[in-house]
Structure 1
Amino acid sequence: MIRAALLLVLSATPLVAQSDTAAAARAAAAQLEAATVQLDRASGARDRIRALTDTVRAYEAGLSAMRDGLRDAAIRETEINDTLRSREDEVAQLLGVLQGIGRTSGPETLLHPAGPLGTARAGMLLSSVTPGLAMQAAELRDDLQEVRTLRQLQQEAVRTLQLGLAGVQQARTELSQALAARTELPLRFTEDPVRTAILISATETLEGFASGLSEITTDDSTSELPPIEARKGALPLPVNGQILRRAGEADAAGVERPGIVVTTLPRALVTTPSAATIRYRGPLLDYGLVTILEPQADLLFVLAGLDTVFGEIGEVLPAGAPVGLMGGTETETGDILSTIGERAGNTRTETLYIEVRQGDAPVDPLTWFSTDKG
C-alpha cells in the first residue's frame, strides 16, 4: 500500500530532464563516436598526418570530457544516495501521510464534527497541505530518477570508453608510422651530430645550450617562416592541459624556473603552436626528452618532459604538426569509472615544461600563449 501510494503520487509528476552531469557525459560519448568516424576517414586523406593529428586531438578531447563527465556523475550519484539515506525518517513520514490520504474514502471527507463550516475549513487545510506533499514527492521522484539515469549512463559508457581508448591508441600508432615515412618536409639546415654532442657535453644550463645552438647550425636555405608577432598572446598551447605552475613559481623543491608547467593526460599529443624549425630534439640535462622549436629568428620555444619525439633537426614544420607524445599509461576503463579513484586522484599525471626565449633571455610564456585554464 505504501509503495502503491508513493508510485501514484510520483507518477503524477512529469519526468525530470537529464542532469547536467549526465548530459555532459552523453555529449562526451558523442565526441568519441565522432572521433571514431574521423579515424576511418583519415586513412584516405590527402594530408594523412594532418588528418591523424586532428583525430588524436578529437579522441583526447572526447576522453577527457568523458572522464570528467563520469567522475561528476559518480560523485553526483553518491551525493544523492547520501542525501536519501540521511532523509530516511522524513521519507518514511511522507509515505505514511500519503498512505493515510490514500486510505481516506470519498464520503468520509465530506463529514466533519463541527458541521459544514468545519468541513470547509478542513478541506481548505487539506488543499493547502497537498501541494507541499506533492512537491516533496516530486523532489524524491526526481532524485530517484536521476540515480537511475546516472547508473544507466555509466553502464552504457563502458563500451564507449573501451572503443575510445582503443581508437586513440590506433590513431597514435598510425600517426607515428606516417611521421616515420614522411619525406616531404623542407630542411633549413643539416645537423652536425658531432658539434651537437660537444655542445651537450659542455652545457650546464638550458640558457647555455640555447645560446650555443645558433653557433653550431648554419642555414642551408633562404626560406623564411611567416612572422608570428601579430599572434603574440594568441598562440595555442602545444598540448591539451592545465597550467600547474606559472613562470617564476617555485616547485615542491623550492626551485624557480622561467617557464610554465602544464599538466596533461598520459600519452597526450604535443604539437607546434606555429610554423617552426626544429632546432633540437633529444635528451638534455635533467629535462628529459626536449624539443626546441624556432618559429622566427631569436625566438625559441623549449618543450621539455616528452616521452617520444617526432621529426628531425633542421626540419621546417607547419603549425599544428606533431612533435611528440607525453609519457605515462592510459587510464583503464575500470579506473575511470571508479568513484573513489576519480575523487581522490588526478588523471593529469604528466607534466610538460614550456620555456620561451627571446634573444638570450627567457620571457613569460603566457605573453605568447593563450589559455583560459590554470
Structure 2
Amino acid sequence: MRFLPTCCAVFLLCGTLSPALAQDPAAAARAASEQLSLAAEALAEAEGAQNRVKALTQVISAYEDGLEAMRDGLRRASLREQALGAELQAREAEIAQLLGVLSGMGSAPVPVLLMHPSGPVGTARAGMILSEVAPALDARALELRDKVQELSVLRVLQQSAADKLQEGLEGVQEARTALSTAMAERTDLPRRFTEDPVRTALLIASTETLEGFASGLSEIAVDEAPGSLPDITARKGALPLPAEGVILRRAGEADAAGIARPGILLATRPRALVTSPSAATVRYRGPLLDYGNVIILEPQAGILLVFAGLDVVYGQAGQVLPGGSPVGLMGGAGTEGDLLLAANVQDTGARRTQTLYIEVRQDNSPVDPLTWFKTDKDG
C-alpha cells in the first residue's frame, strides 16, 4: 500500500517551497502542478487504504493546498505577463529602431562598414565608436529577447496550468464524493450516547438562543457513558482552525445588520473541508435557529466547539471523533461552478465566498475563540 508515502510527499512539497520558488510565477505553477499530480496518485491509492476516511481527508487537504498554490501561481503568472506585455508595448519604437540598426549592420558588407568618407582617421574613429556601441546594442537585444521568450513561456504555461487546475478541481470533487460515501458507511467509531430525536425536536422548539440550546444538550442523550475525553487545556491557543480561511469578524464585532456575536467568522473557499480540531464527542448536528447547519463538538467536559454555516455535516450525535476527522463541507459552487473557475485564467482566485461561524463555550458561557485557535497563518 503506497498511500502514506505519496500523501507525505504531497505535504512535504507543500511545506518546503523555497523563497526563490515562491517569487517565480512559472516555477511556482510547476511546483503546484506536481502537488496536484501527487494528490491524484494519493486519491487512486486511497480506495484500498485501511482507513479510507482518514486517507480521503488527507487527499482533500492535499488537493486544497495544491489548488491554492496553482491559483496563486496562475495569478502571479498572469500579472507578470501583463507587466511584460505593457513594457514591450511601451518600447515598440525603441525595439523597431534597434531591429533596424541590427538589420542594417547584419546586411552591410564588412568593407563598407570599415570605410569612412574622411579617410583612415575617420574610419578608425568610426571603428572605435562602433566597438563601444555594438556591445550595448547586443545587450539590449539580448534583454528584449529574454523578455519576449519569458512572455512566450508564461503564455504556454498558463494554458497548461489551467488544464491542470481543471484536472485538480475534478479530482477534489471525486475525493469529496468518495468521502461522503465513506462517512455514510463508517461503523468503526465509538459512541458515548444515543440521541433521542423526540427530545432533540422539543429542545429545538423550546429554545430561542444558542445558550439555551447548549444548556439542554445533556437532555437529548440516552444511556450516556460516564467520563470525558482527555483534557485539552494544554493545547489552548494551539488548536488548528477547522478550515483554511481568513478571519472576517472577531468576537463581539457587529455585522452589516448591527448584530454582534461572541464567535468569529471565518471566510473559506467554496466546498472547503471542515475538520475537528481535536478528538471530540458530537453533541449535536443539524439545522439550528438562524445558524444554518451546525455541528457542536465536545472535546472535554464543559467545553463546546460550535461550527455553523456548513452545507454538508458528517457524523452522528454521540460519536467520538478522532482529531482531524471531517465534520462537514462548506457550501458554494458545486462541480460545474468550480470548473468554471478554471476556465478563466484572469480570475483564478476562487474567492473565499463562504463563511463559517466558530464559537467556543466554556461552562455554557462564550469565550473568545482566538484564545483557543492558532491563527498565525490567517490572511
TM (normalized to structure 1)?
0.87
- Write the deviation string for residues 241-272 of structure 1: whole angstroms up to 9, x where unpaired: 22222223332333322222222222111110
1:240 to 239, 244, 255: 244
The more displaced of 26-35 and 72-81 is 72-81
Distance 1:141 1:334, change over 3 A: farther
In the alignment, the residues of structure 1 paired with residue 303 and residue 217 of structure 2 have an alpha-carbon distance, to the nearest angstrom, of: 12
In the alignment, the residues of structure 2 paired with residue 129 and residue 232 of structure 1 have an alpha-carbon distance, to the nearest angstrom, of: 68
Distance 1:109 1:219, change over 3 A: farther
Instruction: Name the structure 2 match of 1:165.
Output: 169
2:180 to 176, 182, 189: 176
2:72 to 65, 68, 73: 68
In the alignment, the residues of structure 1 paired with residue 233 and residue 114 of structure 2 have an alpha-carbon distance, to the nearest angstrom, of: 84
Does structure 1 residue 188 correspond to structure 2 residue 192?
yes
Instruction: Name the structure 2 match of 1:373.
Output: 378
Instruction: Name the structure 2 match of 1:258.
Output: 262
1:209 to 209, 213, 219: 213
- Write the deviation string for residues 153-208 of structure 1: whole angstroms up to 9, x where unpaired: 23323442333222212211211111111112111222122222222122222222
Alignment of 1:350-365 (within 5 A): 350-365=354-369
In the alignment, the residues of structure 2 paired with residue 128 and residue 257 of structure 1 have an alpha-carbon distance, to the nearest angstrom, of: 72
In the alignment, the residues of structure 1 paired with residue 224 and residue 135 of structure 2 have an alpha-carbon distance, to the nearest angstrom, of: 83
Alignment of 1:138-153 (within 5 A): 138-153=142-157
In the alignment, the residues of structure 1 paired with residue 340 and residue 151 of structure 2 have an alpha-carbon distance, to the nearest angstrom, of: 20
Give 1:113 deviation, angstroms: 5.5
Give 1:47 deviation, angstroms: 1.1
1:311 to 309, 315, 321: 315
Give 1:300 deviation, angstroms: 1.2
1:347 to 327, 331, 351: 351
- Write the deviation string for residues 320-359 of structure 1: whole angstroms up to 9, x where unpaired: 11111111114444532424444xx752221111111222
* Structure 2 residues not aligned, in runs of 5+: 1-20
| Kept in 2: contact 1:188–1:223 (CA 8 A) | no
1:298 to 288, 302, 305: 302
| Kept in 2: contact 1:38–1:55 (CA 8 A) | yes
The more displaced of 183-192 and 69-78 is 69-78
Distance 1:276 1:139, change over 3 A: same
2:341 to 321, 326, 335: 335
Give 1:52 deviation, angstroms: 1.0
| Kept in 2: contact 1:70–1:336 (CA 8 A) | no
In the alignment, the residues of structure 1 paired with residue 286 and residue 216 of structure 2 have an alpha-carbon distance, to the nearest angstrom, of: 16
The more displaced of 30-39 and 211-220 is 211-220
1:38 to 42, 58, 74: 42
Does structure 1 residue 27 correspond to structure 2 residue 31?
yes
| Kept in 2: contact 1:18–1:146 (CA 8 A) | no
Does structure 1 residue 324 correspond to structure 2 residue 323?
no
* Structure 1 residues not aligned, in runs of 5+: 1-16
Give 1:277 deviation, angstroms: 0.7
The more displaced of 207-216 and 164-173 is 207-216
Q: How many residues align?
A: 356
In the alignment, the residues of structure 1 paired with residue 287 and residue 178 of structure 2 have an alpha-carbon distance, to the nearest angstrom, of: 25
Instruction: Name the structure 2 match of 1:102.
Output: 106
Give 1:40 deviation, angstroms: 1.4
Does structure 1 residue 228 correspond to structure 2 residue 227?
no
Distance 1:233 1:129, change over 3 A: farther
| Kept in 2: contact 1:71–1:336 (CA 8 A) | no
Distance 1:259 1:124, change over 3 A: farther
Q: Secondary structure at the match of 2:188?
A: coil
- Write the deviation string for residues 11-39 of structure 1: whole angstroms up to 9, x where unpaired: xxxxxx99811211111111111111101
Distance 1:312 1:333, change over 3 A: closer
Give 1:231 deviation, angstroms: 1.7
In the alignment, the residues of structure 2 paired with residue 296 and residue 347 of structure 1 have an alpha-carbon distance, to the nearest angstrom, of: 35
Counterpart amino acid of residue 176 in structure 1? S
In the alignment, the residues of structure 2 paired with residue 257 and residue 18 of structure 1 have an alpha-carbon distance, to the nearest angstrom, of: 38
The more displaced of 325-334 and 282-291 is 325-334
Distance 1:314 1:211, change over 3 A: same
2:202 to 174, 198, 211: 198
Distance 1:118 1:185, change over 3 A: same
Counterpart amino acid of residue 26 in structure 1? R
> How big is the alpha-carbon RMSD for the aligned residues of Structure 1 and Structure 2?
2.5
In the alignment, the residues of structure 2 paired with residue 299 and residue 251 of structure 1 have an alpha-carbon distance, to the nearest angstrom, of: 26
The more displaced of 46-55 and 93-102 is 93-102
The more displaced of 301-310 and 242-251 is 242-251
| Kept in 1: contact 2:275–2:326 (CA 8 A) | yes
Give 1:115 deviation, angstroms: 5.9
Counterpart amino acid of residue 66 in structure 1? M
Could you tell me the percent identity over the aligned residues? 62
